[in-house]
Amino acid sequence: MGAKLLCLFLASALVAYYVYIPIPEDFEEPWKVMLIAAAFRAATHLAEVADQLGLIHHVEALMLITTVEYIAPTSDENVTVMDTEFNNVGVRLYLPRKLSDGLRRAVVYFHGGGWCIGQAGMKPYDRLTRWTSNRLNAVVVSVNYRLAPKYRFPVQFEDVYLVMKFFLQRSVLSQYGVDPDRVCVAGDSAGGNLAAAVAQQLLEDSEVETKLKAQALLYPVLQSLDLNLPSYQENENKPVLSKLYMVRLWSEYFTSDSSLREAMASNRHVPVESSHLFPFVNWSNLLPEELKKGHVYTSPTYGSSELAQKYPGFLDPRAAPLLASDAWLRRLPLTYILTCEHDVLRDDGVMYARRLRAAGVPVTHDHAKDAFHGAMLFVLGPIELAVGHRLVNRYIKWLNENL
């Protein structure tokens, strides 16, 4: 009996040690956040073990979560839902059933997942896009772009761009009863990256007559030049996206070559020939004082030219929209940017908001001081966060008022 109690005690202590992490005081539901963080850590650790054993690529292992979370297209009394293809790219369509006095608004949404995991049919994304369609009485197109490691940059960008370009055709908008003057592109995390890149690329496409009304970027990842920003340093091990895992996702977007990941992890991957790009991400000029928090800006340490020649994607604005020139930025549409205080990607969004405002673009920067990366996805299910509901409501409210 004593041995069993000892084993139980040791097992409980081990679980508590694994689950417990220091949580910022402004998190209102700390134990829920700990459980979420522990679940993500467990998933990534198991995926890494499977990868090291040669059983399955770690990203493919994580994709099993996507499979478990998948929900078939299911219509309800408010929204008709269907899977189809636009320009040979899979999409999930949400068509509101409510009567409309005129043409409807539309949102084209790109899911997150580090360009490697996720899909439109995952329960959290299905809920978000379904709610968006119902509450705005809007047509929503959620895109299933191809993923790494099977497909590398620029395939993900090309897929979402093909969908956007197809949908913006006047004949297609007319088919779905959409007002061509009320179309928004949106996305979270890597999806926010793709949304920002698409909005920029449309500016240069003479074949596209319809202009976007707005873009909504939810805790977006926007640059890979400097992976040691204050937000990367402060939130290195915060839930649910660590610095090292973000570095891994960045490198997987371009290649399986571990030398790029290692160079990115040490922030020595940008060659001296690309030094002219650093002013676009110079946080000492672009962050407000309250986010600098005593950090001291240091000049970049340059890396190998060979890496940039082999994998030029990380210097391409289609992968890193913060590298776009001011001349491009000033032509962008009305913008909503959500950033979270406890997120390695916080400073990407803050700097983009600052640069857009300086270029004359109307920007709503919504900074959530009590949130972490991905918080919007935890609005239903076994672990539901109040902050997730607040962020979803703020995002949809902005769309309702501005689209």
Active centre residues (catalytic): 189, 343, 373
| Cβ-based burial of 175 (10 A; exposed 0-12, middle 13-18, buried ≥19) | exposed
**Phi-psi sector, 24: left (phi>0), alpha (psi -120 to 50), beta:** beta
Q: How far apart are CA 342 and CA 156, in angstroms?
A: 27
- Angle at CA of residue 343, ends 340 and 347, nearest 5°: 80
Terminal alpha carbon distance of the chain: 66
- Mind giving me the DSSP string for 37-89? HHHHHHHHHHHHHHHHTTSS-HHHHHHHHHHHHB------SSEEEEEEEETTE
The Cα–Cα gap between 178 and 137 comes to 11
Lookup result for tokens 């409510």: 98
Positive or negative torsion for Cα 369, 371, 377, 382: negative
Between CA 72 and CA 50 the distance in angstroms is: 28
Q: How far apart are CA 279 and CA 320, in angstroms?
A: 14
